[in-house]
Amino acid sequence: MIPISSVLESREQHFLDTKELLEQRQFALGGNWDYNRGSFDKPLDEAHKVWLRIPFEVIVGNIDNDDTDNDAIIRLGKPYVLKHLYEEGNDPEASMRVFGAMFDQFQSPSDPDAHVEPSWVNRAKDALHEVERLLVG
């Protein structure tokens, strides 16, 4: 994980407006969100192993991904770039589910905080500068 300095850090934004603007730039609400914090994530590579992440905390209200009438206000955190490495192929320790004949073949990263090459940091900075222009002007 490589932190990136940004004018976005500590900036307060309306959640839905920010989400909509970032989704237009291939960001998505990160899967680890809850009602009072989360992140906007953008893959930097086609394999979705290198990401630009903009974390946030909710300071007014709470968020719900499906709520179109939400007045939550968020405070953006320090952006960073991260890289996840995965073993190729199915998980050799896949477990059978109790209900149904499905297998849990999706793996956790073999290295969730892998070394990030400078070229990815530069690409993340470029994407972040675009977001800064969009949100700050």
The pTM score is 0.78
Could you read off the pLDDT tens digit of each residue along the chain, which spans 137 residues?
899 999 999 999 999 999 999 999 999 998 888 889 999 999 999 999 999 999 999 999 988 766 666 889 999 999 999 997 655 555 445 444 444 444 343 444 444 466 889 999 999 999 999 999 999 97
pLDDT, position 98: 45
What residue ranges define each of the domains in the chain, with the CATH number in brackets? 2-136 (3.30.310.100)
**H, E, C per residue of the chain:** CEECCCCCCCCEEEHHHHHHHHHCCCCEECCCCECCEEEEEEECCCCCCEEEEEEEEEEECCCCCCCCCCCCEEEECCCEEEECECCCCCCCCCEECCCCCCEECCCCCCECCCCCCHHHHHHHHHHHHHHHHHHHC
